[in-house]
Amino acid sequence: MIGIVVVSHGPLAQGLIGAAEMIVGAQADLRAVGMGAAADMDHLRSEIESAVQAVGGANSALVLVDLLGGSPSNASAYLAVAGTPVICGVNLPMLLELLMAREASTPRALADHALQAGKDNIIDLGQRLAVAAG
């Protein structure tokens, strides 16, 4: 199973995991790292890397961060350069699809899945209902 670490500004990562577990139940190998206002980059980087270790290690994990160019993604850059997939722009549908798909997958395949799932699930409900109503 591929481990997942969600990294965010403040409590978003913990909140996303809470929301996901409300839907699919408690999950193993899933960790949140929430950056505080006075975070030190080196400390944040080591927190993320420890969380990756805890969910299965750099060759068997995926990192999901909230925002490209934010400190959570910047602190994950060394992992990304070393080959662990780091996906920016995490959202709840993306996380849910990954939790369902991660049993039989590779980090790279799961990363491609994340990119697609994140985009596909941003939907204008009114338009969707209009289409459904014909």
Partner 1 sequence: MPVLHMRIDNRLIHGQVTVTWVGSVGANRLIVTNDQVATDPVQRMLLPAAARGVPTSVLSVDDTLAYVASEQGQREKIMIIAKLPTDGLRLLLGGLKPVHVNVGNQAPTPATKFKMITHSIAATSEDAKTYREIARLLGTQLTSQMMPSERPADVLSLLQKNGL
Angle between helices 92-101 and 107-120 (to 10 degrees): 140
Residue 37 interacting with partner 1 (CB under 8 A): yes
Applying CB under 8 A, does 45 fall inside the site for partner 1?
Answer: no
Mark the segment that binds partner 1 (CB under 8 A) among 11-19, 65-73, 98-106, 112-120: 65-73
For residues 45 and 5, the answer to whether their CB atoms sit within 8 Å is no
Q: Are 30 and 3 in contact (CB under 8 A)?
A: yes
Find the shortest distance in angstroms from Cβ 87 to partner 1: 14
Residue 46 found at the interface with partner 1 (CB under 8 A) = no
Determine, following the binding rule CB under 8 A, whether residue 43 of this chain makes contact with partner 1: yes
Does residue 132 belong to the site contacting partner 1 (CB under 8 A)? no
In order of 20, 23, 70, 95, the CA distances from 100 in angstroms are 11, 11, 27, 9
**What residue type is 18 in one-letter code?**
G
| Of residues 50, 68, 67, the one with CA closest to residue 5 | 50
Q: Which stretch binds partner 1 (CB under 8 A): 12-20, 56-64, 71-79, 113-121?
A: 71-79
Can residue 115 be called a binding residue for partner 1 (CB under 8 A)?
no
Task: Name the 3-class secondary structure at 60.
Answer: coil
> Where on the chain is the footprint of partner 1 (CB under 8 A)?
9, 37-41, 43, 67-71, 73-74, 77-78, 81
